[in-house]
Structure 1
Amino acid sequence: MINLRTDSTLEEHKSVITDVCFRPNSTQLATASMDKSVRLWDTANPIRSLHEYSGHDSAVMSLDFHPKKTDLFCSCDGNDEIRYWNISSSSSCCREFKESLGGNGLVRFQPRHGNVLAAVYNKTVSVFDVETSTEIYSLQGHPEVVDYICWDPSGAVLVSVSQCLVKIWSMVSGECIQELASLPDQLFYSCVFHPSYSTLLIIGGTKCLELWNMTHNKIMTVSAHEDTISCLAQSPVTRIVASASHDSFVRLWK
């Protein structure tokens, strides 16, 4: 990130990589792939992967590390099977469960405490208790497939994004507390909370970034890319926001 040059290229997966996630407070990261596996890497020694986790029967679509129990991560495949893995104890799956609802298998732990896990199933977002795998909330209301989810830094609010709608959910009540509809020429694909302002949501659109002030319900549009903005990330340390697009560029914003 200092000189923006490629440091290393990791090439062991046999098919498309669908997700990547850093292990908290570590130089390690994990990658999910359509080759039905998850691989663990260390960026301090990126010559080869540290371990391959296999057992999924279909493409692994998403993964995420627990924010506190950093030896624990979960992965979800295209058949909606969620598996928990413990890096320290063994290389085998330590727990699994399945929800037969159909979807893209996107999973994200609640930040800070990691008590719950949000998982996308088609037009629905399910929120599970991590310890018992019991569903706490079934968040419904999107007329189209949910493409993206993100938590606010406190873990009190979850955001779900479909092309025509962004919905803000309270984890106290499990109810939608605010929503924003897209315009026909500016659909929604991704989102992230601003690293400095907790009430400002950044939404990745067709070519633009939408900065939504949720308190005043106002939007500012910023031209950003030449194609769909498919992913967003932010750094609370540097206050930088990164946007990735189908135009083959990653751009950094401050």
Structure 2
Amino acid sequence: MKMGQMQQSSSEQQDAMQHQLQQQQAQNNRKRKQHSSSGPANSTGTGNTVGPSPSSPASTHTPGEGMNSASSMQHVNSVSKSLMMYGAEGTGGIASSTNQLDDLDNFGDVGSLEDNVESFLSNDEGNGIYGSLKQTITEHKSQPSKGFSFGEVDCIRTRNKVTCCHFSYDGKLLASAGHDKKAVLWNMDTLKTETTPEEHQYLITDIRFRPNSTQLATASLDQSVRLWDAANPSYCLHAYTGHPSHVMSLDFNPKKNDLFCFSDSNNEIRYWNINPFTCARVSKQGGSAQVRFQPVTGHLLAAASDKVVSIYDVENDRQTHIFQQGHSSVVNYLCWDFTGDYLASVSEDCVKVWSLTSGDCIHELNSNGNQFHSCVFHPSYSTLLVIGGLRSLELWNMVDNKSMTVPAHDNIISALAQSPVTGMVGSASHDSSVKLWK
């Protein structure tokens, strides 16, 4: 072959290769734009389950059931809104919203985290936790795994929507639950899973491990709370059934680990002892969306109901703080920082961080259409908040008010958990999956 023909052939090959790469890139872009949520729940409100559906949880409260005052009607509406985060029948589910972000381009590229991490973690002073992080990243720029990183580690699939998750206190187990009506226990060492029996009648709203124990509890819309042991999850240890209202949330006291509380759709909070398994006290002060004990001491309890976040003194059963001017929509989620000095509250349109010292909102991040649903303080960096939205995670540096979006799921990220022991973050989603991040 002559030199001219060889050069022409090489040029043609390069042109063909470039054309092929352009076609592949265009195809990838089309795939990303076609990537959308899994859509609204089916008529049963339980994803792809087969068989008869339970009656609508939201429909159990109707105007004809003694709701004679305007305030009572407002409470019914707030309960219905809080049930939306579980994708329950009758609510339509947030997943059916026509305002969903249908184009993943709006989230930015996955690589943007590594590309912009130096700017994201830097601050003006260049010292403190973010200053040292910046130095680490600069030293190992070619090896980002040695600096700050945040990526998906593993994933498990379930049959239906997942509504809640929580790490055991030693970080060895991640428990999740939802529309499958049973708990899934994920071993962090072997990445194998076990499940509890399907003893709940309706979806599970919350799941929490008992401190320094393999025991855990589940709350459900079937008006029950059940206690399990992850060491032998084949049977239920204790069950409180026949509660008059839907059980919406529960939590264990970190100091007195034989004490837990749960809240219901009627704004009652009940404190229970494990040994013996009895009700210790009933409080009428409210918490229809979520309840969370203050970490370390457990002296305080945070409760969310409608648009209001309240803090209660557990020992004296009195309200110490009320954050009622903060959110313009229903508060779905609460999380404390590790010290118990700060509390984050989440509604669809924003996340607010409150100081218990001053009683003020000290940080705020608007969702800009991402529909926030959950949050957790990063297990290694206390001023970094991980926020779950519609399909994506938001990493928010509260000090510099910088945020970064990471595509994560195909639907609502309904719950987040973290383990300071392992540095892992767990995310649960209505796309029927649970993911590990680090």
Q: Which residue of 2 aligns with 1:132?
A: 316
Does residue 246 (structure 1) correspond to residue 430 (structure 2)? The answer is: yes
| Letter of the structure 2 residue corresponding to residue 33 of structure 1 | S
Larger strand share, 1 or 2: 1
1:11 corresponding residue in structure 2: 198
3-state secondary structure, aligned to 1:227:
strand
From 189, 208, 233, the equivalent of 1:2 is 189
Whether 2:239 is the aligned partner of 1:80: answer no
Alignment check: 8 A CA contact 2:196 2:235 kept? no
Partner residue in 2 for 1:155: 340
Counterpart position of 2:353: 168
Question: For 2:315 and 2:242, how far apart are their aligned partners in 1?
Answer: 21
Whether the 8 Å contact between 1:41 and 1:51 is mirrored in structure 2 is yes
CA distance in 1, matches of 2:317, 2:371: 33
Higher RCO by CA contacts (8 Å cutoff, separation 6 or greater) = 2
Offset, 1:84: 0.3
Report the secondary structure of 1:207's partner residue: strand
The answer for unaligned runs of 5 or more in structure 2 is: 1-187
- The question of 1:231 aligning with 2:419 is answered no
Secondary structure at the aligned position of 2:339 is classed as: coil
Kept after mapping to 2: 8 A contact 1:194/1:202: yes
Contact 2:289-2:332 within 8 A present in 1 as well = no
1:92 aligns with 2:249: no
1:8 Cα shift? 2.9
What's the counterpart of residue 112 of structure 1? 296
Q: Aligned AA for 2:333? A: Y
More helix by share: 2
Q: How does 1:156-235 map to 2 (within 5 A)?
A: 156-184=341-369, 186-235=370-419
Structure 2 distance, partners of 1:55, 1:127, is: 28
The Cα of 1:46 is off from its aligned counterpart by 1.6
CA offsets 1:22-80 (integer angstroms, 9 cap, x no match): 00010100011112111111111222111112463101110000001000000111101
Aligned residue among 137, 146, 150 for 2:331 = 146
Residue identity over aligned pairs, in percent, reads 61
Aligned pair partner of 2:245 in 34, 41, 58: 58
CA separation in 1, counterparts of 2:289 and 2:348? 17
Q: Deviations over 1:206-240 (max 9, x none)?
A: 11111000111111111111111111111111111
Normalised by the size of structure 2, how large is the TM-score? 0.56
Q: Does 1:32 align with 2:32?
A: no
Q: CA deviation at 1:91?
A: 2.1
Distance in 2 (alpha carbons) for counterparts of 1:70 and 1:9? 22
RMSD of equivalent CA atoms: 1.3
Partners of 2:285 and 2:381 in 1: how far apart? 35
Q: What stretches of structure 1 of length at least 5 have no aligned partner?
A: none
Q: Segments of 4+ in structure 1 off by > 6 A?
A: none
Distance in structure 2 (CA, Å) of the matches to 1:208 and 1:47: 34
CA–CA distance in 1 between the matches of 2:277 and 2:419?
Answer: 30
Q: Deviations over 1:73-102 (max 9, x none)?
A: 0011110110000111x22211011136xx
AA at the equivalent of 1:143 = S
CA separation in 2, counterparts of 1:61 and 1:74? 11
Specify the structure having the higher radius of gyration (Cα): 2
Asked if structure 2 preserves the Cα contact closer than 8 Å seen for 1:79 and 1:105, the reply is no
Pairwise CA distance, 1:246: 1.2
Which amino acid counterpart does residue 99 of structure 1 have in structure 2?
A: Q
In the other structure, the counterpart of 1:123 is 307
